Amino acid sequence: MRVIGIIAGVILAVLIWQGISFYSSVTDHPDRLEEKAIERAESESVIEKVDEAVQYHGTNSAYVVLKGSDADGEQVYVFVPRKDGALVTKKIEDGVTLEAIKKKLSEEFSPQEVINIKPGIEINQEEKQVLVWEATFIDTDNRYTFAYYYFSNGEYWRSRSIKQS
């Protein structure tokens, strides 16, 4: 009888430990994710000064996107994957500006409300990574919409809409 109690106690302890571990991984605080991303990017010497950090949850993976300057003083975006994977660094001057995307979005969709525009990485039809601008907005039909524009030239790539209830 005593052995059964010990086994039950061990099983209960393992279940509690796994539950806490799972809860921690699911609710990892956004600020902590950004801190980890900054530490990794600085340790790999791809960025020296971070001006801004945003989270990007793409179709296939999630990134913390850092905006700042590298060792040469060049303005860069650094895409740090939330899971294992290589960092992607892109000079800001190699892409179109946020203002250009705002203008295109306004001309092409006439959004009721722009919620957010941020850089990200998606996977195209050829299974290759593509740097994009993701614009999140409420369209004229009151749908929550995501429009994607190529980072390199600002051309429209695709959009997805979700009907609001």
How confident is the model over 63-89, as pLDDT tens digits?
Answer: 999 999 999 999 999 999 988 889 999
What's the CA gap between 103 and 142, in Å, rounded?
20
Digit-coded pLDDT (tens) for 93-103: 999 999 999 99
**Reduced DSSP (H G I as helix, E B as strand, rest coil) percent helix, strand, coil of the chain, to 5:** 35, 40, 30
Look at residue 27 and tell me whether its pLDDT is greater than 80.
no
Look at residue 62 and tell me whether its pLDDT is greater than 90.
yes
| Percentage of the chain lying above the pLDDT 70 cut | 93
Output the pTM of the full model.
Answer: 0.79
Higher pLDDT among residues 19 and 36, named by residue: 36
- Can you tell me the mean pLDDT for 90-119? 96
Provide CB contacts within 8 A for 10, sequence distance 6+: none
What structural domains and CATH numbers belong to the chain? Answer: 30-94 (3.10.450.40), 98-163 (3.10.450.40)
- Can you tell me the mean pLDDT for 146-165? 93
